[in-house]
Amino acid sequence: MCGYEGNDRGLPPAAASNEVTTVIWRTRRGHRLSRPFVATNPRICPKKNIFVRLMDSTGEQRSEAQDKRPIGVCFLEYIKGSRLSFRTYQTIVLVLTFLAYASYHATRKTTSIVQSVLDPETTKLGFSHWSRFYFLSTVEGTEPKPRLKDGWSPFNTLVGTAMLGQIDVAFLSVYSLGMYFAGHLGDRFDLRILLTIGMVGTGIFTSLFGAGYWLNIHSFYYFLAVQMLAGLFQSTGWPSVMAVVGNWFGKKKRGLIMGIWNAHTSIGNISGSLIASALLKYGWGYSFAVPGLSIALIGLMVFLFLPVCPEKIGIESEEDSMLKSPKKNGITEPLLVGRSDEKEKAVGFFEAWRIPGVAPFALCLFFSKLVAYTFLYWLPFYISHTAIDGSYLSDSTAGTLSTLFDVGGVVGGILAGHISDRLDARALTAAGFMYCAIPALFFYRIYGSISLYWNIALMFVTGMFVNGPYALITTAVSADLGTHSSLNGNSRALATVTAIIDGTGSVGAAIGPLLTGYISAKSWSAVFTMLMSAALVAGLLLTKLVVAEVSAKMESARLRANRQQRSPVPELLRSGSLLLDMNNSIGYYTVLWSFNCMLLIAMEGAMLVEMGSILQILSRVDKAQ
């Protein structure tokens, strides 16, 4: 054991002054060793390579570690005059990572808003080549939306739509491949620096895409190269923010907390849509330049204020704070406690793939993001080129209306996280939402063009079921698997596992918009069929995990029932407990199928409204005759 020989408070003289003092090291055999110790105020700015636990007059422990706190955090503590609390650090982490990834999505959403301006030439997109039953808004003799602008070469040619699709798939391909390397780097280097570089680089290349407007650039390869480099820098975002949040928050209520936090995806899409739509009237270049500048500025905030993990800034986590106070154990002398220098070994790429649950969830996210990113890139284009209640919406109005899909995604993410927490069944929740997305997609295609109100309602419901499992898998599921019991407590796998899951999903995110660019030239009905098929496959991929979760729930309920039958409790209470166990086992199905039934009831109402409208038209025709 070792301790200070100092004043009566147990603090070295340097705690109250800037002078050099000597730390007396008292070993267990009573030997005394000394070494210089320099500090201006060890509570605020500890010297490097020293880890001390100082106990103040109230007996509370305080941790001091290597001074790896960001400059902004040191400034806040200087203003406050004391260390920030653990809750304050958690708040800083949530806010900064929320803003960081929202800005990433804001820059991605810009492309989908500007597509209609770059390629205003329309074909018969939105008009079905299938039967009238499948697309009720088809009106014979109705011409497509007329061409109002000349667009921007080379995207205003006959192959302009395909070229935009190629740019999207190039961006997402580089993004998905870069994600694997970014996760590998994230477990080995400073996440704050990695995230800052990614955000600043994303801002630069997003702005360079918009610079083509002022520099009068019409080279397809220029825009292709800029988007590919932007995708490379964007790949650092998700593994970094997920690893940082995972370092600061435990498993308790992880699904709900991350479901709320994951609203950054939809908030970013909404803000990106609104900003890009509002700036279109000044020139499409501004729609890229402003989000690019914004993400670079937020990246600077991340560099100044983001604490990566509690250990690097010398603060106790919630688990450490639960330890017994030394004063309660009879220890009254302040101690100098050594911290182990042993570092956890980062998990390899292929080793992370072998973690139970990583492969099925990664493949499920492949199809889930295929659906979600098809809406992300093509929904504004689809709305502006589809007659809603017999009329077409402008590009800016379509971009604004498409944000309601993301509003539904916010609700779906929170709902999926809360349900998975209450039932402790991640796979069951994700699969259930994907199955419910199938009828939602079908009815949005059929009834979305009846009126603006139906379009809004169905778009919201579709966004809720499509983005719900996407949000759950990329947050709570990734964090759970990154701290899986098979890792034996090794926390250095979080960024790698997150990168594997989201990187695999991003491959699907690249394929979806690419296929849509080609399939939509024939029929949007075929596009929706592809999306419904992808949602079905996503749910089926989790079947094995769903069966395992249901079996575990049933076995747990059976064991509790057996214990209650052997315990001397009244029969009424025993039956009530058995009923509660049964409800816990089937509660998830009740919730999901309730949503499904509500959706079906709403669709039945839509059919009645449609039939009523048809009858009114027929009655008017009869009266006219």
Please state, in angstroms and rounded to a whole number, the distance separating the CA atoms of residues 152 and 297. 29
Question: What are the residue ranges of helices labelled H in 473-570?
Answer: 478-482, 494-519, 524-540, 543-566
- Has residue 66 got a pLDDT over 70? no
| Partners of residue 64 on adjacent β-strands | 52
Please state, in angstroms and rounded to a whole number, the distance separating the CA atoms of residues 54 and 9. 10
Residues 577, 560 contacting (CB under 8 angstroms): yes
Question: What are the residue ranges of helices labelled H in 28-85?
Answer: 71-80
Residues 193, 300 contacting (CB under 8 angstroms): no
Residues 203, 144 contacting (CB under 8 angstroms): no
- Give residue for tokens 């929904």: 379
Closest CA to 199 of 224, 229, 234, 248: 234
- Give residue for tokens 């669709």: 603
- Has residue 136 got a pLDDT over 70? no
- Give residue for tokens 């919630």: 318
Mind listing the pLDDT tens digit for each residue in 412-464? 988 988 898 888 888 899 999 999 999 999 999 999 989 999 999 999 999 99
Mind listing the pLDDT tens digit for each residue in 377-397? 789 889 988 888 888 888 778
Among 418-427, 567-576, 602-611, the minimum mean pLDDT is found in 602-611
Residues 6 or more apart in contact with residue 248 via CB below 8 angstroms = 89, 90, 93, 309, 310
- Has residue 598 got a pLDDT over 90? no
Please state, in angstroms and rounded to a whole number, the distance separating the CA atoms of residues 539 and 371. 13
Mind listing the pLDDT tens digit for each residue in 529-562? 999 999 999 999 999 999 988 888 888 888 888 8
The letter for the amino acid at 248 is W
Please state, in angstroms and rounded to a whole number, the distance separating the CA atoms of residues 201 and 187. 20
Residues 26, 66 contacting (CB under 8 angstroms): no
- Has residue 9 got a pLDDT over 60? no
Average pLDDT along the chain:
74
Residues 308, 192 contacting (CB under 8 angstroms): yes
pLDDT confidence tier of residue 526, bands split at 50, 70 and 90:
very high
pLDDT at 343: 52
pTM (2 d.p.): 0.64
204 or 409, greater pLDDT: 204
Mind listing the pLDDT tens digit for each residue in 243-302? 888 888 766 666 678 778 888 887 898 899 889 989 988 999 999 999 999 999 999 999
pLDDT at 481: 74
318 or 460, greater pLDDT: 460
pLDDT confidence tier of residue 567, bands split at 50, 70 and 90:
low
- Has residue 407 got a pLDDT over 60? yes
* Token reading at 395: 């590009």
> Is the four-CA dihedral 515, 516, 521, 527 of positive or negative sign?
positive
149 or 203, greater pLDDT: 203
Average pLDDT on 216-239 reads: 93
- Has residue 313 got a pLDDT over 80? no
The DSSP string of 393-408 is: --HHHHHHHTHHHHHH
Average pLDDT on 194-219 reads: 95
pLDDT confidence tier of residue 492, bands split at 50, 70 and 90:
low
Domain boundaries, given as residue ranges, for the chain: 13-67, 87-142+160-316+344-541, 549-624
Share of the chain above pLDDT 90, in %: 28
| Partners of residue 3 on adjacent β-strands | 335
Q: How many CB atoms lie within 10 A of CB 381?
A: 26
- Has residue 26 got a pLDDT over 80? no
pLDDT at 317: 59
Share of the chain above pLDDT 70, in %: 67
Overall CATH class of domain 87-142+160-316+344-541: mainly alpha
Closest CA to 416 of 400, 395, 434, 398: 434
- SS3 letters across 299-351: HHHHHHHCCCCHHHHCCCCHHHHCCCCHHHHCCCCCECCCCCCCCCCCCCHHH
259 or 338, greater pLDDT: 259
Residues 6 or more apart in contact with residue 497 via CB below 8 angstroms = 183, 347, 352, 355, 358, 478, 481, 482
* Token reading at 610: 């449609």
Please state, in angstroms and rounded to a whole number, the distance separating the CA atoms of residues 291 and 207. 8
pLDDT at 81: 87
- Has residue 79 got a pLDDT over 50? yes
Average pLDDT on 15-25 reads: 40
Residues 6 or more apart in contact with residue 379 via CB below 8 angstroms = 112, 402, 405
- Has residue 118 got a pLDDT over 80? yes
pLDDT confidence tier of residue 484, bands split at 50, 70 and 90:
low
> Which DSSP letter does residue 63 get?
E
Please state, in angstroms and rounded to a whole number, the distance separating the CA atoms of residues 343 and 321. 22
- 64's enclosing H/E stretch is strand 61-64
Taking the CA of residue 249 as centre, how many other CA atoms within 13 Å lie in the half-sphere pointing to its CB? 25
The DSSP string of 137-204 is: T--TTPPPPPP-----TTTTSTTHHHHHHHHHHHHHHHHHHHHHHHHHHHTTS-HHHHHHHHHHHHHH
Residues 6 or more apart in contact with residue 504 via CB below 8 angstroms = 176, 362, 363, 365, 366
Q: Which of 33-37, 138-142, 364-368 has the largest mean confidence? A: 364-368
Residues 263, 414 contacting (CB under 8 angstroms): yes
Q: How many CB atoms lie within 10 A of CB 516?
A: 26
98 or 507, greater pLDDT: 98
pLDDT at 511: 87
Q: Do the strands 21-26 and 32-37 form a parallel or antiparallel pair, or are they unpaired?
A: antiparallel
- Has residue 160 got a pLDDT over 90? no
